Structure 1
Amino acid sequence: MSEPAAPGVRLADVRAVLGRAGAAPGPVEVAAALRSLGALVSEGNVRETVAALRRESAGAGPLEPLLALRGVTDVLVNGCQQVFLDRGVGLEPVEGVFADEDEVRRLAVRLAAAVGRRLDESSPFVDARLPDGTRVHAILGVLTDVGTCLSLRVPSRRPLTLDDWVAGGTMHPRAAELLRRVVERRVAFLVSGGTGSGKTTLLASLLGLVDPRHRIVIVEDSRELAPVHPHVLRLEARPANAEGAGAVPLVALVRQALRMRPDRLVVGEVRGAELTDLLTALNTGHEGGCGTLHANSAADVPARLEALGALSGLPRAALHAQAAAALDVLVHIGRLSDGTRWVEELHLVTWDEASGLCRPMPAWRFPAGGDPVAGAGAVRLEELLRC
């Protein structure tokens, strides 16, 4: 938090004095800096100033206390005036975190540097993963109207089981039962949902149910999935360096994963040309493959797949044929009006001979606070899970 170093002296002033002298923020150096600024020097002032300077230079600085709060999944900074956090019930504003734009920018630049990335006017945004697994996106004020913006996604500190989902009021018991059987029967599936809906967390919970004798190979753009399973390999894409070289895209990693004898191939988030390789893999004997996909509903998934298939030049008809043969079930998770997450529906992926397109067939819908509603595909889903 932005706080005074001592009565009448700002922390920024102390930092400036230390910077000009090239001094470390130790007790002796801080006491000298306070004296040079005309502040009253006491053991308490020195101790508090040293602690404040070290908080600012370690971890996520002023955001560290927010990231440590129980249940926090996201911390969002819209310039120095607006900070929000999400604890699963929607965004909550937090006051008095930053003093000015310079403080936000320094933090953003330091977080980028911590993972070997550059953030300046020539490269004004960055998307990276911090050493503790926190995903950070930063964009400088030169591209926004509010100043430097930060978006931090906090990894789950404790992997959730399906029982946890049910107990926490985010999944109906019937949905949990069906999802257990989906994993057990090695059915290929996608988890769809909007940003921050809990797709990755749900997928990690489901992967924890995979037979411990099976080898899971996970491919992700930024490493987030951490299932509790004894045999997991996690491959992470790599962006280009400052010279524009060294990038390793998801599509390359999916192809490498296929050579690593996976029992379950997982694409943490399908978002580009790697879709073609995933569908090809699921059509060539890799049972039980899965991933997540941004979509507003299960019914919107085919259109989303079409858009991604176009990125790799896959014709519409071929995309639908591949998807219908490769995928079995769609699981959709969303947010309720109060901000809480909720597993909303299960659909079957079916083939429509008349149109030559794959179509989601509703199997089960789970109204919040109500009883499950069986759809046209409920019987066929039962047959699929019984085979």
Structure 2
Amino acid sequence: MNTETSAAVGADERGRFVVRRASERPAAVELVPVPGRDESRRERRGLTRGEADAFGPLAGFVADGEITDIFVNGMAGLWVDRGNGLEQDRSWRAPGERALRELAVRIIAAGGRHLDEATPTMDVRIGDGIRAHAVLPPVSTSGTLLSIRAPRTVRPSFDDLRATGFFYPEAEELVRRALADRANLLITGAGGSGKTTLLGALLGEAAKDERLVVIEDVAELRITHPHVVSLEARQANVEGAGEVPLARLVRESLRMRPDRLVLGECRGAELRELLAALNTGHDGGAGTLHANSLNDVPARLEALGALADMSAEAIARQTVSAIDLVMHVERQKGVRQLVDMGEFWLDDLGRLRITSVRTGAKLERS
């Protein structure tokens, strides 16, 4: 790996963002409603009283603005994430498998969908970005499963992230320059690593006269900005009609004159539409992608491109011209951080490669 460094921040012959560097857990949430306080928590979550009631014995956990993930593993218990990783909440007792099933059905119904033997898995959005996913037996062999993701009620700003040490030393200057230059950004990382949090904070720094059009599978991105338009994909109904996929929403968004086009997560054929848009004058765009490391990103993009019937060569050429900077985030021992950034390039065979901005090293394909 090339570790040669200097004190300068600047561009090399390959790109614009290369750096050369010099050498107590919170109290458990009560399950009994507390007048006034629980009402305020419910309102901050954007829940109606009926939606809040649908969560039943989980309502207190959902209302807690510090809890980001809640998992009910059948009769095996409840696990929550308060920002320091998953931990079992032993104060909670499962009400019984039949009651758990009824709870799951009620929660999914609050999101406007139906859960039963014919449709034993379902994902919905409730309130202000709360995502609920349920799986019923016999698809689940360990009883009714519930997975609830509830974004923090406090929306971290760019300065908030900087104050917590989210950025490595040279990163802040580079990120600010990328935003000012209207670079197209791709934020990568594993699930729960902070991709959406970072994306929301970055977009909050966009000029106030810019129009942001945000497209998501389930709306959860939170942006403090005066001009944000949000589009959410829709699943087909029980008759198989009414689906509005992400790819279609990307095409529709181009008729809405976005100054910044944002795809909450690239997970399928919609990648083709996004790359096409970013290659036709739509600068300042952004999106996220699941990837375990920076050097895994090219292979992940090739896999998604295959879903869109794109060859590896096509996805490589489209990506190199569309994406200016990759930002990789990780979560280690409960701490989320931007650990590296990268720039795409093509090797002699026309395959997609990536170079680490932080070290200057050309990363090998895994």
- TM score, norm. by length of structure 2: 0.82
Classify the secondary structure of the residue corresponding to 2:106: helix
Q: Where in structure 1 are there 5+ consecutive unaligned residues?
A: 4-53, 365-373, 378-387
Contact persistence 1:309–1:315 (CA under 8 A): yes
Work out whether residues 65 and 153 of structure 2, in 8 Å CA contact, stay in contact via their aligned partners in 1: no
**Residue identity matched to 2:300:** R
Equivalent residue, structure 2, for 1:71? 66
Q: Give SS of 2:75's match.
A: coil
| SS across alignment from 2:357 | strand
What's the secondary structure of 2:356's corresponding residue? strand
More contact order relative to length (CA 8 Å, sep ≥ 6): 2
1:162 matches 2:158: yes
Q: Does 1:247 align with 2:243?
A: yes
* 2:70 paired with 1:82: no
**1:147 counterpart = 2:143:** yes
Cα deviation, residue 166, structure 1:
2.5
Go from structure 1 to structure 2 and tell me whether the alpha carbon gap of 1:291 and 1:56 turns closer, same or farther (over 3 Å shift): closer
Identify which of 268, 274, 277 aligns with 1:278. 274
Shift of 1:173: 4.8
2:94 is equivalent to residue 127 of structure 1: no
**Residues 23-77 of structure 1, C-alpha deviation per residue, up to 9 Å, x if partnerless?**
xxxxxxxxxxxxxxxxxxxxxxxxxxxxxxx999814111111223342111111
- Which residue, 219, 222, 226 being the options, matches 1:226? 222
Of 204, 210, 225, the residue aligned with 2:206 is 210
Paired position in structure 2 for 1:350: 345
Spell out structure 1 runs of 4+ moving beyond 6 A: 54-57
Q: 1:199 & 1:151 partners in 2: Cα distance? A: 19
Letter aligned with residue 279 of structure 1: L
Counterpart contact for 1:63–1:97, Cα < 8 Å? no
Structure 2 CA distance for aligned equivalents of residues 124 and 321 of structure 1 = 41
Distance 1:346 1:57, change over 3 A: closer
What is the CA–CA distance in structure 2 between the aligned matches of 1:206 and 1:259, rounded to whole Å?
24
Q: 1:360 aligns with which of 342, 354, 357?
A: 354
Contact map agreement 1:55 1:62 (CA 8 A) in 2: no
Q: Answer 1 or 2: which has greater helix percent.
A: 1
User: How far apart are the structure 2 equivalents of 1:170 and 1:60?
Assistant: 33
The question of 1:335 aligning with 2:336 is answered no
Measured against aligned partners, the alpha-carbon deviations of 1:311-350 in whole angstroms (never above 9, x if no partner) come to: 11111111101011111111001111x2321211111122
Question: What letter matches 1:359 in structure 2?
Answer: R
Identity of aligned residues (%): 49
Alpha carbons of structure 1 residues 56 and 285: separation in structure 2 relative to 1, 3 Å: closer
CA distance in 2 between partners of 1:264 and 1:232 (Å): 10
**What value does the CA root-mean-square deviation take over the aligned residues?**
2.1
The gaps in structure 2 that reach 5 residues or longer are 1-27, 31-48
Query: Normalized against structure 1, the TM-score is what?
Result: 0.78
Tell me, in whole angstroms, the C-alpha distance in 2 between the residues paired with 1:70 and 1:117: 25
Match of 2:105 among 89, 94, 109: 109
Higher Cα Rg, which structure: 1
Amino acid at match of 2:249: L
- Is 1:118 aligned to 2:114, yes or no? yes
Please list the CA deviations of residues 115-164 of structure 1 after superposition, one character each: whole Å capped at 9, or x if unmatched.
22111111101001012321000001221121000111102312111221
Alignment check: 8 A CA contact 2:216 2:246 kept? yes
For residues 270 and 226 of structure 2, the distance between their equivalents in structure 1, rounded to whole angstroms, comes to 26
Letter in 1 for 2:349: S
Report the Cα distance in structure 2 between the residues aligned to 1:88 and 1:180, rounded to whole angstroms: 26
Between Structure 1 and Structure 2, how many residues are aligned?
316
SS for the counterpart of 2:138 is helix
1:195 partner letter = G
Paired amino acid for 1:344: V
